[in-house]
Amino acid sequence: MTPGLMQTTPLMISGILTYAAQAHGAREIVSKLIDEPIHRYDYAGLGRRSAQLAHTLERLGVKPGDRVTSLAWNTHRHLELFYAVPGIGAVLHTANPRLFDEQIVYTINHAESSILFFDRSFATLVERIAPQLTTVRTLIMLSAEDYETLIAREPETYPWPSFDENAGAFLCYTSGTTGDPKGVLYSHRAVVLHAMAGGLNSAFGFTAFDVVMPCSSLYHATAWGLPFSAPICGAKLVLPADRMDGASLHELIQSEGVTFTGGVPTIWTMYLDWLEKTGQRPDTLKRVVIGGSAVPRAMAEAFKRLYGVQTLQIWGMTETCPIGVVATPTPALAALGEEAMDEAIWTRQGRLQFGIELRVETEDGTEAPWDGETSGALLVRGPWVVRRYFRKDADAARADGWFDTGDIATLDANGFMRITDRQKDVIKSGGEWISSIDLENVAAGCPGVKIAAVVGVPHPKWEERPLLVIEAHEGAAVCKADVLDYLAPRIVKWWTPDDVVFAAVPLTATGKIDKKVLREAWRTHLTS
Amino acid sequence: MTPGLMQTTPLMISGILTYAAQAHGAREIVSKLIDEPIHRYDYAGLGRRSAQLAHTLERLGVKPGDRVTSLAWNTHRHLELFYAVPGIGAVLHTANPRLFDEQIVYTINHAESSILFFDRSFATLVERIAPQLTTVRTLIMLSAEDYETLIAREPETYPWPSFDENAGAFLCYTSGTTGDPKGVLYSHRAVVLHAMAGGLNSAFGFTAFDVVMPCSSLYHATAWGLPFSAPICGAKLVLPADRMDGASLHELIQSEGVTFTGGVPTIWTMYLDWLEKTGQRPDTLKRVVIGGSAVPRAMAEAFKRLYGVQTLQIWGMTETCPIGVVATPTPALAALGEEAMDEAIWTRQGRLQFGIELRVETEDGTEAPWDGETSGALLVRGPWVVRRYFRKDADAARADGWFDTGDIATLDANGFMRITDRQKDVIKSGGEWISSIDLENVAAGCPGVKIAAVVGVPHPKWEERPLLVIEAHEGAAVCKADVLDYLAPRIVKWWTPDDVVFAAVPLTATGKIDKKVLREAWRTHLTS
């Protein structure tokens, strides 16, 4: 090679802060807080206070490479930790308060954090787990008394250092349902490239006029990187703390002129219910990005037809920083007409983004055609994909970079990806695959059904066959025959569940159907 | 530091090609050609033909690190060179046909190119300079007979290699008016980051629905990186070859639905004239990015008021890949009202972009305040800024990365930059600076004036004082008193030129006022 002769300036997260403070210094950041009035400042203010926090961290003995944990909601103080901790070369472990106590303890000890910053609402939790924390030596409440007093007298500028862009910046643990949570250690390079990609119109495409309210938790894979994409684009930030109920969200949307928000489907179910009940409308809202689970079609339709809001489905995981694909429109889809485009966008997780490579692999390890039909293991690769979990000896990705997501998916000729199942949930019937998710989606439409869960259970002839577990709405008079009649014209015959049973459907801590429990409970249903 | 554990996938230009072929395979690329019918294909086709070209280059003995020169217009074949040459690890030297013969020869020999690809329209030029080319061993015409025959039988896939992202990819020479042209060697990393930044809404912000026609030459710093930003965003590309006259551009805009174009002011003067003369309108055009020289205010107004087209001013240089700043709107400007925003956007080169750092330095080396008034030397720094010129022993940038652009500028609180002069053209009068550009802009508005040029000439008392050289329109009866009367209410008194003379104004090869010649010609005017 002939070496290039351009500057090799490292990509630093502090560069985002400096940029926003210089180019969009007066652009607002509005934050709700726990038991305190709403807080307003701007990117210049974020720059000053992050500097104060950086000095504070140094004073508390935090050294480059050290880990610091946050147990916090979406607030401006948490945002300051997002910049100050990686800014001085340390690593922010964003602990997930939704985990069980022992898992929270495990992640903090595994991270070997020296300081734990926590919101007031986690005081009891912290009191409970503190005795089991082996490395934490300082507890700091993100409150006016503690946090504010601590940073108050520090200088408002800080000489943010440049260092290896592959240094660790954020430590996010998966909420793995099996085994201990695994730590994914985001580098500065990954976070900055991911934030730039998030700013492109194939993903979020913010302009300086956007007002962005992240309702995905900051502790979940940095809330899709919105705390970084927004300032790169000069967008105003609105942080709702932990108030995700319809009334609170609506108040912020209206008073702050929110144009873009996003979160898991549960939040938007509540919000749409609230809008319907109150007859209110979100006047400024243009786009809602929804991920974490598949977007119910009725939700996307309600947003569009009732309120003129565009739904962007998104798929990603902690291991991908987390943006994998985003369902934004393209001319190829638009050419099909509006209805077909909506259908395509609402039924697919999203399209290929620059920077991420996707591969669907069939069982023999060859690449499946991009035909929208052939499904297989979904692999991802790229500069914001995990290579190895924290403190593990072996790589999580293959030597050639491909990381197996655990999902089963298809890819089509337009680069749109559709998840058809989790690898562990797909039903292998006589060598053919049945998508438990597709079956559930159909069954969920049957009148009287509240939750439909499908699992594969051992079958003497076909290896596995689908069992449909229905939790009915209270008082609904739905029976097995009703369900089978409903399914018959909507699915291919060989997908028909071998039995339909009525029972409460167990959910995981994050609100997903707990298929592990279901499989165990019904394991011998077709064989005994 | 704690090393991050994400993948360190290098940023490769071939990754843009692969992405566009997969995610936007059917999106069109339309190209005019020299003496051939218009050519149409798509990003999948670009992928296939770039692969064929890569195989051809290998067959011709091109090795990683080798240099290959193009002398070509904006066509799809030139675009294929843009991907295939860096794709195999070689370097594409995009020679500038507007230079003098001896400079073209100098750059090709200095690049030590082994192959020269050229458009038919440069056949005579190539014949003329061929005997002086010391390293070129193969000449290939970008024509149906030569280029097409050469690539025709090669395989349509190529295993694009991954290698150090700091490897050289493009070699672009400055058209320095003093001394030999200097080579800037763009790395893969610089080109990819620059392309992503160009895709953000602070710069070009393309969506997949945009139709982009670069009218800046591909050989000029890769035409603002449009050949890379467009495919990253999935935009259709329209390549006008060398046809920059009004009728040709309009035909492409109308037939291909161009939404975005850009080039130097000269092109748009011609196009606006043509529109006025013919009464035609560019129906689909939404934005025109203009750089290379300051945008005349009348041009921006005509585009907006007559045709509803937004003008984006841009500033950059070969040494910055070339995007430095882009004048896109922000809420801070919008708050001033539309007229004031237009004024702000049309009179400033543009605003700070994420990835580029700007610094205005006063004569004592301290940073000037971002007040929109204090001017000084404009310095730039960042991952797509030159570190060292090709085959030089010393860095062009300072040890801390700051590169002196040679411009004098101001920065304001909104991050908007305004060039007030070239460092060598600023007039130093009694320790104060007078902007020759500002004076010229005012004088150009005086009735009868065709070109107004201002240079500083030695003065016994003030060191330098401004001299105004006027080239009047043919038959215009404008005299010194008219000009001074016109200036009086429009400038501060001490900026008043010490003399106004009438003469033909010499221009450089690129159409700029040749101040070097002027200064020499009038050197003793105020002292003799």
Min Cα–Cα distance to chain B from A181, Å: 16
As to burial, measured by CB atoms within 10 angstroms (0-12 exposed, 13-18 middle, 19+ buried), residue B400 is: exposed
Q: Which of the residues B286, B304, B428, B516 is marked catalytic? A: B428
Task: Summarize pLDDT for A142-164 with one digit per residue, the tens.
Answer: 999 999 999 999 999 999 999 99
CA distance A76 to A29: 8
CA distance B275 to A196: 38
The pLDDT value recorded for residue B53 is 98
Concerning whether B174 is annotated as a catalytic residue, the answer is yes
Does B300 fall in a domain?
no
DSSP secondary structure code for residue A235 in this structure:
-
Does A408 fall in a domain?
no
Q: Is the dihedral of CA A362, A364, A369, A371 positive or negative?
A: negative
Interface check for B19 against chain A (CB to CB < 8 A): the answer is yes
The pLDDT value recorded for residue A460 is 86
Task: Summarize pLDDT for A436-475 with one digit per residue, the tens.
Answer: 988 998 999 999 999 999 999 999 888 899 999 999 998 9
Q: DSSP 3-state assignment of B244?
A: coil
Does B49 fall in a domain?
yes
Which CA distances in Å does B145 have to B36, B148, B149, B494?
A: 11, 6, 6, 64
Interface check for B383 against chain A (CB to CB < 8 A): the answer is yes
| Token output for A296 | 């119910």
DSSP secondary structure code for residue A135 in this structure:
S
Residue A58 neighbours by CB distance under 10 Å: 15
CA distance B472 to B449: 5
Interface check for B367 against chain A (CB to CB < 8 A): the answer is no
From A160, A186, A212, the end of a domain falls on: A186
Q: Are B316 and B350 in contact (CB under 8 A)?
A: no
Q: Are B11 and A6 in contact (CB under 8 A)?
A: no
Cβ of B329 within 8 Å of Cβ of A65? The answer is: no
Task: Summarize pLDDT for A473-509 with one digit per residue, the tens.
Answer: 989 889 999 999 999 999 989 899 999 999 999 988 7
A23 contacts in chain B (CB < 8 Å): 202, 351-354, 414-415
Q: Write the CATH number for A480.
A: 3.30.300.30
Concerning whether A304 is annotated as a catalytic residue, the answer is no
Task: Summarize pLDDT for A75-117 with one digit per residue, the tens.
Answer: 999 999 999 999 999 999 999 998 889 999 999 999 999 999 9
Phi, psi at residue B496, to the nearest 5°?
-55, 125
CA distance B444 to B441: 5
Cβ of B382 within 8 Å of Cβ of A209? The answer is: no
Q: DSSP 3-state assignment of A206?
A: coil
The pLDDT value recorded for residue A508 is 81
Name which of B463, B451, B464, B462 is nearest B508 in CA terms.
B451
Ranges assigned E (strand) in A412-527 = 416-422, 427-429, 432-434, 449-459, 463-472, 499-502
The pLDDT value recorded for residue B417 is 97
Residue type at A173? Y
Min Cα–Cα distance to chain A from B37, Å: 26
Does B90 fall in a domain?
yes
From B166, B186, B206, the end of a domain falls on: B186
* Average pLDDT of the residues in A324-337: 95
CA distance B162 to B8: 11
Residue type at B293? S
Number of domains in chain A: 2
CA distance B448 to B446: 6
From B186, B204, B231, the end of a domain falls on: B186
Range of the domain at B166: 10-28+36-186
Min mean pLDDT across A104-113, A286-295, A299-308 is at: A286-295
Q: Is the per-residue pLDDT at A228 higher than 70? A: yes
The pLDDT value recorded for residue A463 is 87
Name residues whose C-beta falls within 8 Å of residue A468's C-beta, 6 or more positions apart in sequence: A439, A443, A452, A453, A454, A483, A497, A499, A500, A501
Cβ of A386 within 8 Å of Cβ of B197? The answer is: no
Q: Is the per-residue pLDDT at A295 higher than 90? A: no
Prediction ipTM score: 0.92
Interface check for B354 against chain A (CB to CB < 8 A): the answer is yes
Does A156 fall in a domain?
yes
Concerning whether B495 is annotated as a catalytic residue, the answer is no
Q: Is the per-residue pLDDT at A51 higher than 90? A: yes
Query: What distance lies between CA B131 and its chain's CA centroid?
Result: 31
DSSP secondary structure code for residue B240 in this structure:
-
CA distance B242 to B260: 18
Classify strands B28-31 and B236-239 as parallel, antiparallel or unpaired. parallel
Does A182 fall in a domain?
yes
Does A332 fall in a domain?
no
Q: Are A67 and A113 in contact (CB under 8 A)?
A: yes
Cβ of A27 within 8 Å of Cβ of B331? The answer is: yes
Interface check for B282 against chain A (CB to CB < 8 A): the answer is no
Q: Is the per-residue pLDDT at A293 higher than 80? A: no
SS (H, E, C) B48-88: HHHHHHHHHHHHCCCCCCCEEEEECCECHHHHHHHHHHHHC
Interface check for A8 against chain B (CB to CB < 8 A): the answer is yes
Concerning whether A32 is annotated as a catalytic residue, the answer is no
Q: Is the per-residue pLDDT at A202 higher than 80? A: yes
Cβ of A6 within 8 Å of Cβ of B166? The answer is: yes
Cβ of B334 within 8 Å of Cβ of A209? The answer is: yes
> Which H/E stretch holds residue B233?
helix B226-233
Q: Is the per-residue pLDDT at A178 higher than 80? A: no
DSSP structure string for B87-126: HTT-EEEE--TTS-HHHHHHHHHHHTEEEEEE-GGGHHHH
CA distance A42 to A29: 5
CA distance B169 to B184: 10
- Taking 3-state DSSP, the helix, strand and coil percentages for chain B, each rounded to the nearest 5, stand at 35, 25, 40
- The pTM of this model reads 0.92
Q: Are B283 and B254 in contact (CB under 8 A)?
A: yes
Query: What distance lies between CA B224 and its chain's CA centroid?
Result: 6
Q: Write the CATH number for A104.
A: 3.40.50.12780
Does B194 fall in a domain?
no
The pLDDT value recorded for residue B489 is 94
Q: Consecutive sets of 10 residues in chain B, 528 residues long: mean pLDDT of each?
A: 94 98 97 95 98 98 98 98 98 93 96 98 97 98 97 98 98 79 97 98 98 96 97 98 96 98 91 96 97 84 96 95 96 94 91 97 94 96 98 95 95 94 86 86 91 92 92 91 94 92 87 88 90
| Token output for B468 | 């105004």
The pLDDT value recorded for residue B44 is 98
The pLDDT value recorded for residue A177 is 57
